[in-house]
């Protein structure tokens, strides 16, 4: 039997084509069995330069997170600084792929800037999916020169307080200003330090006598200073528990909240607009570092990510590492529960919001 050249080529084409179809079918069949995230890479975008608290948290958590997401994807942490988070969240909201492979991490300050409608912050949190959040809490401490032995000494410092902050509008700066207001203390805030680390150094130099931090660096850098008598830690802002009450952060169980401090000083519960405003920031702190997906990501993928996060924080191995790296246990609020805290925050009345400006 003789085949012409054309026939031979045709036969080859048929064989190759058949193989191609078979492999595609096999591929799609196995893809149906395999979880979506298998063999994929998730991009997690951090809206700040490397090295900050949000970046540290993102890099720390994502390293563990991948182990609990079905399919064990890879995670790549990328930095997209700009506009105090506006660039990253604008990108997530309107440009990022909606396949669940691009996520973003927000700091506490980003919802505040969104609430205040800072330029560029035009994305809508309500249309995006909040996957999980790691609650934080701000700390507030005084330097030696204020000579605060116990909390009631604070009353004597009115007019002498010079607080060091990074910038107007940072959550620590807002909440410490409000706390001084609440306690009826006269104070001055100095802005411009590039980080709360630098502000802390200025406190040690005696340039300022009050500054703050958060739950993520408390045990590692602030508490040691207290043990040496360099600083007096006054209170933490606290976070909202499941019933909506102000509670202590799990990484700082020995540190009184602002509410407790107020009760100790004045013998009554705090109230009024200033207190409402502080509670608003506490709600944002409860959100802490939050992980977001763009709008329109398939529900099943969101659930995979949420479940992964839930399993991660339940794992003692993760918590042991959290104590080692972040200095304390790291709880998380997952999905819808976390979004509730945010809804409360964006529903604040205008007379409260204007205190943040």
Only one of the segments 127-135, 239-247, 318-326, 329-337 lies at the binding site for another protein (rule: CB under 8 A); that segment is: 318-326
Q: Is 224 in the site for another protein (CB under 8 A)?
A: yes
Q: Is 35 in the site for another protein (CB under 8 A)?
A: no
Residues whose CB is less than 8 angstroms from the CB of residue 37 and which lie 6 or more positions away in sequence, other chains included: 69, 70, 71, 72, 73, 100, 301, 304
Q: Is 349 in the site for another protein (CB under 8 A)?
A: no
CB of 326 to another protein, least distance (A): 8
CB of 135 to another protein, least distance (A): 19
Query: Which residues in the 159-178 window bind another protein by CB under 8 A?
Result: 162, 164, 166-169
- Any idea which residue has 């979880």 for tokens? 35
- Any idea which residue has 């700390």 for tokens? 139
Q: Which of 68, 193, 262, 345 binds another protein (CB under 8 A)?
A: 193
Q: Which of 42, 65, 69, 84 binds another protein (CB under 8 A)?
A: 84
Q: Is 71 in the site for another protein (CB under 8 A)?
A: no
CB of 51 to another protein, least distance (A): 3
Q: Is 145 in the site for another protein (CB under 8 A)?
A: no
CB of 87 to another protein, least distance (A): 5
Q: Is 51 in the site for another protein (CB under 8 A)?
A: yes
Q: What phi and psi, each to the nearest 5 degrees, are found at residue 237? A: -65, -35
Residue 129: strand pairing partners: 293
Residues found near another protein in the complex (CB under 8 A): 49-52, 56, 59-60, 63, 80-84, 86-87, 90, 118-120, 162, 164, 166-169, 188, 190-195, 197-198, 200-202, 204-205, 207-208, 220-221, 224-225, 228, 324-327
């Amino acid at each position: 039997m003789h085949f012409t050249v054309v026939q031979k080529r045709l036969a080859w084409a048929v064989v190759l084509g058949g193989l191609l179809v078979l492999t595609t079918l096999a591929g799609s069949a196995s893809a149906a069995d395999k979880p979506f995230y298998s063999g994929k890479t998730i991009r997690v975008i951090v809206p700040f330069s490397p090295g900050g608290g949000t970046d540290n948290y993102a890099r720390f958590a994502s390293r563990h997170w991948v182990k609990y997401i079905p399919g064990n994807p890879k995670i790549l942490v990328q930095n997209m600084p700009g506009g105090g988070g506006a660039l990253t969240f604008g990108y997530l909201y309107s440009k990022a792929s909606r396949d669940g492979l691009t996520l973003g991490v927000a700091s506490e300050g980003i919802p505040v800037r969104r609430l205040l409608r800072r330029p560029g912050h035009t994305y809508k949190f309500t249309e995006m999916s909040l996957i999980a959040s790691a609650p934080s809490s701000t700390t507030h401490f005084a330097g030696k020169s204020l000579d605060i032995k116990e909390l009631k000494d604070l009353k004597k410092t009115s007019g002498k307080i010079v607080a060091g902050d990074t910038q107007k509008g940072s959550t620590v700066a807002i909440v410490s200003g409000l706390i001084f207001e609440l306690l009826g203390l006269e104070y001055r805030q100095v802005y411009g330090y590039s980080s709360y680390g630098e502000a802390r150094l200025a406190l040690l130099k005696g340039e300022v006598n009050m500054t703050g931090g958060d739950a993520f660096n408390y045990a590692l850098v602030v508490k040691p200073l207290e043990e040496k008598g360099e600083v007096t830690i006054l209170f933490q802002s606290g976070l909202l528990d499941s019933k909506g009450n102000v509670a202590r952060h799990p990484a700082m169980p020995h540190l009184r909240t602002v509410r407790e401090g107020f009760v100790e000083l004045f013998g009554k519960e705090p109230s009024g607009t200033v207190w409402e405003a502080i509670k608003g920031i506490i709600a944002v702190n409860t959100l802490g570092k939050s992980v977001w997906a763009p709008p329109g990501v398939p529900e099943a993928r969101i659930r995979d990510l949420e479940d992964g996060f839930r399993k991660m924080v339940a794992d003692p191995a993760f918590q042991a590492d959290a104590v080692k790296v972040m200095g304390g246990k790291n709880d998380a609020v997952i999905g819808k529960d976390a979004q509730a805290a945010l809804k409360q925050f964006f529903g604040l009345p205008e007379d409260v919001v204007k205190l943040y400006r």
